[in-house]
Amino acid sequence: MSELEQLAKEISERLNKKALSLERRTEEKIVAITDDGLEEVLSKNKVVVIDFWAQWCAPCHLYEPVFKRVASKYSDKALFGRLNVDENPKTADKFGIMNIPTTLILVDGQVKETLVGAVDEDTLENALKKYI
């Protein structure tokens, strides 16, 4: 292996390591919300943003990176969580979730904004900015 190839390999490994580190930090900023934990999350946080999703939902997977990017930008101003509707039907029913992905923005436990579908980053940010 030439010196140039070795250098390229080292740079690639460092970039991959850095990307994994950043991804883990973003993951840590998003909590898994459950039927049992919802009330605690709402009582301890003024602004809560919940992404209702399911494993089988293709648009949910397209929307996930958008949700994560916004969460990484605003995690100091709101709590971001994802709720799997198949595993937590009680909460989905409570909020009348009929389509996924659906994102709710709650302030003091009250729904202030409902975004249905895989919205773009600007749409999510603009909705959130009204409440933070």
Catalytic residue ranges: 57, 60
Which tokens hold the place of 115? Answer: 């975004």
Cβ neighbours around 73 below 10 Å, total: 13
**Closest among 111, 89, 116 to 42, alpha carbons compared:** 111
| Beta-bridge partner residues of 127 | none
Q: Cis omega before residue 59 (within 30°)?
A: no
**Are 49 and 81 contacting, i.e. CB atoms less than 8 angstroms apart?**
yes
Cβ neighbours around 68 below 10 Å, total: 18
